[in-house]
A and B are shown apart, each in its own frame.
Chain A
Amino acid sequence: MAVASGLYLWATALCPGQITTTNFFNWETAPVHPVDLSPDGTKLAVCNLPDNRLEIFDVTSGKLLPLGNIPVGLDPVTVRFRTSTELWVANYISDSISIVDLPSMRVVNSITTSNEPSDIVFAGTPQRAFISCGQPNLVQIFNTSTFQVVTNLVIDGNRPRAMATSPDGSKVYVAIFESGNASTIIGTGVSPLTALPRPSPINFPNAPSGGQNPPPNSGTNFSPAISSLTSTAAPPRVGLIVKKNSVGRWMDDNLGDWTEFIRGTNAAFTGRLPNWDMPDHDLAIIDATNFGINYASGLMNICMAIAVNPASGKISVVGTDAINNVRYQPVLNGVFIRVNLAQVDPLNLTNNILDLNSHLSYQTPQVSQAEREKSIGDPRAIVWNSNGSRGYVTGLGSDNLIIIDAQGHRTGLNPSINLGQGPTGLALDESRHRLFVYNRFVGSISTVDTISETVVDTLPLFDPTPQVIKVGRPHLYNTHQTSGLGQIACGSCHVDTRFDRLAWDLGDQTEPFTLINSTFNFLSPPPAVTNNFHPMKGPMVTQTLQDIIGHEPFHWRGDKEGLEEFNGTFTNLQGAVTALTTNEMQEFKSFLATVRFAPNPFRQLDNSLSTNLPLPGHFALGRGTLTNGAPLPNGNAQSGQTAFRLTTATGCIICHTLPTGVGTDMRFNGFQWLQLPLSTNSSHHAAMLQLERSSNLPFKIPQLRNMFDKMGMDLTRTTSRAGFGFSHDGSVDSLTRFVQDSFAFTNDQATADMVAFMVSFSGSDLIPGSLTDPNRSPGLASLDTQAGVGRQITINSPAQVTLIDTMVTLANSSTSRIDLVVKGLKDGLSRGWFFDRTSAKFLSDRQSETFTAVALRAFASVGSEQTYTLVPRGTGKRIGIDRDADGYLDRDELDFGSDPANSLSLATNTPPHLSSMTNLMVLKGRLLTLNFTATDADIPAQTLTFSLGAPVPPGASINSTNGIFLWVPSGPPGATTNSVTIIVTDNGTPNKNDTKTFTVTAVDLNVSSFNATASGTTLGWSSIPGQTYRLQYKANLEDPVWIDLSGDVTATGNNASKTDLSTGTNSTRFYRILALP
């Protein structure tokens, strides 16, 4: 089996026309505003995210008419018309804005932005472009004429994303994606490796918990009760999640009021300051003139999409809200997420929040399939009609569209309208009663008739996403398939495979211990039996799913050997009726195995570590020369790596291998590291550890590639953007504190260096371990991305550009993990080029056409701009010159007439194929009708023409269009054999045909024998096998009717016979033989 499988994979890898995860990188980027209607209402622009293109359609007929497409940057997530002829496209991975001139269908400029440009709106006087940038929490403001940055606004919230403007254009509204929900952790932070966790205030006798840790969740009891199987050992002392209620009190799920410990006189015991607070900013309101910012709070924890009701002016935000302050999986089963609509008054920032799944009572984890189908999950788009009476919301996870009235209540002819997988963007063409929806996961556009509220058309886009991704995605996202109420999926918390920036206490006190056995790879001796994995594990922050496959075991504690062990989550936490089948789990796993970390924003273009990295948002703790709260100095990430690799007490490398940070998957035998064999389901054995600071509880050594994603919690000030930070329960607010509390760093520069390295972790190209170094094991590989990937520049002159020279140098390097592609116009045609390392030249999208870098640049001019883009190595040829990876280059295909966006459409003419035919025997004089068919694989479809080849039997003919052959054979007595040749010819270039010849033997119908006896009369005749005959008789030839002799005869050979047993004696009968049709 192994050999066969290997051969199969080998064949797959080399099969032309295949798009695989080798030439397609999956960052699981989510669209933000991928569909936009032109101001004049005639054009629709759609971000074809996986194809890195902008698709343009004419909508004047009410039906989408493709006008063409324009290559933009990597992972375009938002398109906005600035005018009816100019579009701005936000490229999430490229960190760029493509400025598109619509009449000429070309990119005229590329603006470099900060990290993760997500949405664009135009507002203010003079008009400015406001661009939300997720990771650095910025809104960048650009001059729309000069494309220069006017200013950068820091948004006090995590990941500002979707945007809208007020009807008068004076305000810009920014939804904060990972806004949190004013929940936070009472934890114990992190201690040095050899120390125990500090005592928790949860254990204080005068605390709301009464000193009981974990506190009961239902009065004085646990609900459900603790299983007798686990009551033999006390649950570990853990942290506690509290949430601010509407009157500002910080409550646990058992009505315990912890306000005094969060912001009151006892705040010190939770590491906080008096008056500490989480503003829980969900929505930023920017004055487009003076750039002042206000915030609305208390909406939800993931603010996904935003729109303004034109009538009321209220800001509508849709998203999800988590009830992570409620503990334990049995309590949360199926009900832990609400899908909400918040309507915010822009004047006083008051809000009204509605559950968009008002049909759910959340009293049970499951409802009927019909009820489930009504639910919306993962809402990613909202649009209002012009009078504000109707809003439309799509569910990325529920694959549907719902309609709401002005108040936000569900309305419409049907509970919901089913769409393609992953509906995200919306554009409403009210004049034609059309609503256009981009279905991200299936790669199509649905057209909804807003009168009949039905999908009237679905237009597929070219989607190069490999099947392994498409097949597995529903297991993460689909809320109808994977939850009991239809509103929840894995992706509800692992949003876009990442996380929700929250902690959850998903203990299950009804479960038994998970026993620690020898399958777990402990870096130090495993803990005693009493420290088995207790089911009441306490709060743990949600972990990213990026590149988890191959880095097993899973969960913070490493108690899940592989993904398969999470199958119970579908039924026990999401309330699904059934868990995944074995095949479905494999699909899910294969999909997750494609999700990689995006380019690291803190590394250099060549992926190297910075020696002078600014560290905004990182502050000193006053333990070095800097005062508490002072900004850390710029960090030297290279020095940080050196410190990280020390094997002393301040080093990290003994536990955290490079390049991922997870523990070793090997075991040292005294001489060298040896790979541990994979276990069931091909799971790895990344090392685990028990440390004093974790109360001797075992933990998996975690990966470290998303540290910068976890910033935001702040215990050194009185306000905090996030409620959870680092470590398993999120109780460490900053990297500075993690480094200084864990490893006794006090020097500010050394701390900054380590922090710089931490935020620069993802991206590989770190110093590898060694098989013979007992302290620095080789590490598991990292599925990430070179930092320069996506970088763009557009030029309009042949002048030398340093950045392009650098790009070429990188692309020419054998180790850079970078390809370079160029898109632009040449001779008025849209062209593509790909830098080929072998020849050190650019290959064009026409076979055998190459240019040096200088020669290519020479074509650049105003009107023939060239956009250079760094792309992941292995993807350049596809992205640059062979869009569908079918081996036929894009321009060659266009020249030829084939479709460069269809791997089945090739720039060569494939002959048609005639259906098979056999030789025939027929009766003379009878009409022979044959219907010939033919197929042709060429795309677009060609016209096939049928004809007869010589010699043509006399009187024979064939319909050239439908292939129907007609002929009445004739001839002298006796069998005659006739050769018939059918030809089908396509109209390709050059014409190709297929020919098939067969013989038709025409025979007579003659009586060959006659035998009359007393018992009956038997007639014999020459026959055609398979032909059915009927014997008839009459007693007198003058009788008007021939009488059928019962029982037709179907010939099985060349002779047939029939006996008439009803003749009687001395009678006369006349017989005839009929050949039935």
Chain B
Amino acid sequence: MIPNLTKSCARFVVMLSFLFGSALTTNAQRNFKVSLFPTNQNGVAITWRAQSATPVGDLFIIPQFQVERSTDLKTWTPIGGLLTGSLNQAMSLVDSNASGGNYRVASIIQKEYAQLNGVKLDFGQLSGADFFGASLFGAHLAQADLTGASFSGADLRNADLSNANLTGADLFGVEALGAIFDGGNLRGADGGFGDFGLASFFNTDLGNTDFRFSILSGANLDFAVFKGMILDSNTEMDPKPRLIWQIVNNGAPGAILTNKDLSIATLTNVNLSGAKLNGANLNNTDFQNADVRGANFTGANLAFVDFRGTLLDGTTIIDTKSRLTWQILNQGGAGLDLHGTNLSSILLINANLSSANLSNANCSGSAFLQVNLNGANLAKVNFTGAHLLSTTMTNANLTQAILTSADLSGANFRNAITNGATFTGAKFSNTIMPDGSIRNF
């Protein structure tokens, strides 16, 4: 169970790091300011500064520029040819035939067949860039803006495109074996005839991505968003994600999915009403807003399932712990008396358990992410190995609570009572202690 839980948490952590990283990457400047000055021959001088589309520390990519003029803001006419500049070079072009009009400067990145193996382009502002046929083996393109970029026929093997935005990108015939697209966005991209074998699409938005005749065998598609993803009979894909894709895109009301492995899948908004999920492996599966009314989960592995917004009712056959988890998430748990309850290996995100009584409850191994436990009775609660990330336990009673090996990153214990509590092996990172101090170790 631990590995899957780790992935679940990783998805969360990645989101944080994206935000954190974004704050640091201000040097990639695809956008630039254009100035217009009239000349004394009835012309117009258009000036701007050439800057790298990638931040400092990356390979500099200075776009080429094309000045265009329009009188109606609809039809644009190129003025002169493509201009190439060096880093920070002041660029200018004089339109001597100006007779009034509007100007714009297109920033064009043309890297067809470029040799860019292993280069660092992280955080690059590379939207619309043309990397057709380029060699980008092992390149670093994490968090790059690659919207509408072309990688058709390119070699992206082992490249790192984590959290990159590839919305609408052209990946036709790309070689992306072993590439990492984790957390990224390929929505609407054309991945037809691409080789994505052994690639990683963990938590990647593949909505409306065209993967016809592509290879996705061995790819990690955990938590990938399959809604709208286009496959055909020639798409090579492992059976498990193929089944998930079918469920996501075709729905599965009443489907017999007995003993199927649907773990670590994003089944949000899926209609599984009346489905037979007896004995299925649903570990870490995301059922947000899914309809599981009438579904039968007898014997299913429901550890760490995300039940937020899940449509679940009395006709759903499900174990008590899972139903309670669903209840906490969707109906609130403030003040609930859960003492001695088994809440191990569950996933609670943004749940409210303030003032609840969890004394002697077994919460070992569970993931409580941003859960509100303010004022809760946590005496003798068992949080062994639990992940209490950014969980609020202010004013809580943790007398003799067991937090052995728990991950307390971002947790807040201010004013909590921890007499006799056990923290052996616990992880503290930006953890606010009862006295208000912050602990990191």
Q: Does any Cβ of A come within 8 Å of B47's Cβ?
A: no
C-alpha gap A203/B197 in the complex (Å): 17
CB of B167, distance to nearest CB on chain A (Å)? 23
Selected contact of B138 from candidates A194, A195, A266, A746, CB within 8 Å:
A746
Smallest CB-CB separation from B173: which chain A residue? A269
Residue from the set A268, A273, A622 with the largest chain B CB neighbour count within 10 Å: A268
C-alpha gap A191/B215 in the complex (Å): 12
Q: Does any Cβ of A come within 8 Å of B292's Cβ?
A: no
B133 touches A268 (CB 8 A): yes
A199 touches B132 (CB 8 A): no
C-alpha gap A266/B218 in the complex (Å): 27
B135 touches A622 (CB 8 A): yes
Selected contact of A622 from candidates B132, B137, B153, B195, CB within 8 Å:
B137
Which residues of A sit under 8 angstroms from B178, Cβ to Cβ?
Answer: 192
Smallest CB-CB separation from B216: which chain A residue? A196
Stretch at the interface among B110-118, B317-325, B370-378: B110-118
Selected contact of A203 from candidates B133, B153, B175, B213, CB within 8 Å:
B213
By size class, the interface of chain A is 20 to 34
A191 touches B135 (CB 8 A): no
Residue from the set A201, A273, A622, A746 with the largest chain B CB neighbour count within 10 Å: A622
Which residues of B sit under 8 angstroms from A268, Cβ to Cβ?
Answer: 113, 132-133, 152-154, 173
Q: Does any Cβ of A come within 8 Å of B234's Cβ?
A: yes
Q: What per-residue 1/0 map shows which CB atoms of B23-56 lie under 8 Å from chain A?
A: 0000000000000000000000000000000000
Q: Does any Cβ of B come within 8 Å of A628's Cβ?
A: yes
Q: Does any Cβ of A come within 8 Å of B412's Cβ?
A: no
Within 8 A of B (CB), among A164-200: 191-192, 194-196, 198-199
Q: What per-residue 1/0 map shows which CB atoms of A234-268 lie under 8 Å from chain B?
A: 00000000000000000000000000000000111
Q: Does any Cβ of B come within 8 Å of A994's Cβ?
A: no
A623 touches B117 (CB 8 A): yes
A198 touches B153 (CB 8 A): no
Within 8 A of A (CB), among B102-150: 113, 115, 117-118, 132-133, 135, 137-138
Selected contact of B133 from candidates A196, A267, A622, A623, CB within 8 Å:
A267
Q: Does any Cβ of A come within 8 Å of B214's Cβ?
A: yes
C-alpha gap A267/B215 in the complex (Å): 20
Q: Does any Cβ of A come within 8 Å of B65's Cβ?
A: no
Which residues of B sit under 8 angstroms from A266, Cβ to Cβ?
Answer: 153
**B interface, by DSSP: helix, strand, loop or mixed?**
loop
B117 touches A199 (CB 8 A): no
A199 touches B115 (CB 8 A): no
C-alpha gap A274/B134 in the complex (Å): 12
Known A192-B198, A194-B218, A269-B153; contact A199-B113, beta-carbon cutoff 8 A: no
Which residues of B sit under 8 angstroms from A203, Cβ to Cβ?
Answer: 193, 213, 234
A622 touches B115 (CB 8 A): yes
Which residues of A sit under 8 angstroms from B215, Cβ to Cβ?
Answer: 195-196, 198-199
Q: What per-residue 1/0 map shows which CB atoms of B219-262 lie under 8 Å from chain A?
A: 00000000000000010100000000000000000000000000
Q: What per-residue 1/0 map shows which CB atoms of A461-488 lie under 8 Å from chain B?
A: 0000000000000000000000000000
CB of B232, distance to nearest CB on chain A (Å)? 11
A628 touches B115 (CB 8 A): yes
CB of A728, distance to nearest CB on chain B (Å)? 19
Q: Does any Cβ of A come within 8 Å of B217's Cβ?
A: yes
Q: Does any Cβ of B come within 8 Å of A536's Cβ?
A: no
Known A622-B115, A628-B115; contact A195-B137, beta-carbon cutoff 8 A: no
A204 touches B193 (CB 8 A): yes
Q: Does any Cβ of A come within 8 Å of B194's Cβ?
A: yes
Which residues of B sit under 8 angstroms from A196, Cβ to Cβ?
Answer: 195, 197, 215, 217, 236
Smallest CB-CB separation from A273: which chain B residue? B113
Which residues of A sit under 8 angstroms from B117, Cβ to Cβ?
Answer: 621-623, 628
Q: Does any Cβ of A come within 8 Å of B180's Cβ?
A: no
B213 touches A623 (CB 8 A): no
Smallest CB-CB separation from B119: which chain A residue? A622
Q: Does any Cβ of B come within 8 Å of A692's Cβ?
A: yes
Which residues of B sit under 8 angstroms from A628, Cβ to Cβ?
Answer: 115, 117, 135
Which residues of A sit under 8 angstroms from B154, Cβ to Cβ?
Answer: 268
C-alpha gap A198/B216 in the complex (Å): 10
B118 touches A622 (CB 8 A): yes
Within 8 A of B (CB), among A430-485: none
Residue from the set A195, A266, A621, A627 with the largest chain B CB neighbour count within 10 Å: A195
Q: Does any Cβ of A come within 8 Å of B177's Cβ?
A: yes
A199 touches B195 (CB 8 A): yes
CB of B419, distance to nearest CB on chain A (Å)? 52
C-alpha gap A268/B136 in the complex (Å): 13
Selected contact of B197 from candidates A191, A622, A623, CB within 8 Å:
A191
Known: A195-B215, A267-B133. 6 other contacts (CB 8 A): A191-B197, A198-B215, A199-B213, A204-B193, A622-B135, A623-B118
A-B contact pairs, 17 of them (CB 8 A): A195-B217, A195-B218, A196-B197, A198-B215, A199-B173, A199-B195, A201-B173, A201-B193, A203-B213, A266-B153, A268-B133, A273-B113, A274-B113, A621-B135, A621-B137, A622-B135, A692-B217
A-B complex: 4 closest residue pairs judged by Cβ atoms: A268-B133, A268-B153, A198-B195, A622-B117
